[in-house]
Structures are given as C-alpha cells and as structure tokens.
Amino acid sequence: MKSFLGFFLCSLSCVLLLDSSASYNLNNPSQILAQSYAQRRNYGSPTNARLPQRTLNPAASDSQCRSRPLDLVFIIDSSRSVRPGEFEKVKVFLSDMVDTLDVGPDATRVAVVNYASTVKIEFLLKDHLRKENMKQAISLIEPLAAGTMTGLAIKKAMDEAFTEQSGARPKSKKISKVAIIVTDGRPQDQVEEVSAAARASGIEIYAVGVDRADIVSLKLMASNPLEDHVFYVETYGVIEKLTSKFRETLCEMKVEIVQDPCICEARLAFQRQTQTSIQTLNSKLADVTRKVEQMERMLARM
C-alpha cells in the first residue's frame, strides 16, 4: 500500500508541476511582464550575484520632446551696447531655440521683434512655418544699434505681433502666447505698465538679462513666479546654455527610452511567479496526501 501511495504522489507531483509550468515560457522569461523599478527595489538579489543596473539609452534619451503649441515672439535688444559679435551669438541662440521646437501651422509659430531706439518686426508668426525658412530669416537680422526702448518693443509686440492678422491663433484655440525678451541694458523708457498690460492680455513673459542688464527691470517685465521667468547670464558667450532651460520649460512631453540589457526585471518577475506556483503545488500535494491517508485508514478497517 505504501509503495502505491508513493507512486501515486510522485505521479501527481509531475502532473501538477507540468500544469503549473505550462503557463510560462521557461526559456524566455522576457515574455513575462516586468515589474516597475520601484517594485524591483523591494526584492533582494541573490547573495553571490549582482544584478546589472538599468541604463538609459544615450542615443534615445537626450531630452527628446515635443514642444506644446505656442505663439512665440522673441524680443531682442540690438542697441549700441550689444557688439556685433555678441549679436551674432543672440542669433545663434534663437536658431538653437527654433531647433528645439515643434514648428508648424498647427504647432509652434515664431516671430522676432528687434529693437533699439526704434522697433522693427523682423518677421511675423504667419511668415515662416518651417524651421529652415525661419532660421534663414534669423541669420539675416541686422542690429539697429542705438538706444534701448524696451517698453516700446513690448507694446509693439502686443499690438502687432500677437494679433490674429499677424498669425496668432484665436483665444478659442487656447494656444499659449509667450514672449522671450533678451536684453543687456537698462530700459530707457517705462516697462512696468506696458508689461502688466501685456501679461493681462494673456502673454506670458520671460526676461533674459545679459551682463549689464538691470535685474529690477527684468523683474518688472516678467510673469510670475519670477524665479521661473527671469534668467541671467554673465556674457553673450554663454547664452546658449539657456536653450536647455527653455527646452524644459516649453516641453510638452519628454520621451525617455529605457534599456534593460539583461532583462533583470523580467527575470525577477519570473522567479516570483515560479515561487508562487511552487507554493500552490505544495499546498495541493499536502491536501492530496491527507486524502490518501484517509483512504488507507478506511481500507485498513475493512
């Protein structure tokens, strides 16, 4: 009778084990859904094994993003204090900014307002809807070389550059209107009231100061919170560093592709699933053993 019981239990174990393992591909644990990184940290690794860490794919995680649709107007200071070489760096900054944006009729539209004692709209929001044409237009901008009428430039941008006739989308479209002012001096006119009016009309203002720029004036122009809308750099030579700052600010969605070379998370998930199956198997075996023992006792009484 005991030999029969042993044979029966062994056969039953094999059947249950095959049934349990059939749900998983033991040779390809990567097919099992991997748990999140936060969950993975809650499980210990084997004593003598060190699991490789998750790594980012550098080619695919370089802050790739699609900018949210904007009506974006750059207001750039080209007064006498901005030397020709420095103004060229401003144009490089503008071109780099364009490269980070998703430009198009239904995406971001860009205009440039150039100012000194006078104000000149270099191109409107409706003029260039492709990056190549936009960057070509930026490369042709020439400095105006006198005065710093920042308030006048903000007013002209509000009254002319941000209008529907100039290519701005209607309010019903709920497209954000953004102005980025770049200056290295102190305004020679009033900026507080005109900036307040521009912000009240729905224009979000970022103020970028370079070198001798007046910080108080930058704060009067910028939107709140000031810590997110006022920037300062020591020279035009490092202004390109702000490109990444604005890329983060204007980014709608960052895409970060993660590679797990050894599929560690999938393996851990597989191990957990296997442990659960073994526990279930042991429970079933214990239940069958009790029933067989009951049968033996009944047979012994006969």
Indicate the average pLDDT of the chain: 78
Per-residue model confidence (pLDDT) at position 281: 77
Residue with tokens 């420095």: 86
For the stretch 194-225, pLDDT in tens is: 999 999 999 999 999 999 999 999 999 999 99
Select the more confidently predicted residue: 190 or 286: 190
- What are the start-end ranges of the E strands in the chain? 55-56, 64-67, 70-77, 109-115, 119-123, 176-183, 203-210, 230-233, 251-255, 258-259
Higher per-residue pLDDT: 146 or 226: 226
User: What's the mean pLDDT in 57-65?
Assistant: 39
- 128-171 pLDDT per residue, tens: 999 999 999 999 999 998 899 999 999 999 999 999 999 999 99
- C-beta separation of 162 from 121 below 8 A: no
Over residues 180-191, the pLDDT tens digits come to: 999 998 999 999
pTM above 0.85, yes or no: no
Domains, the chain, with CATH or none: 64-255 (3.40.50.410)
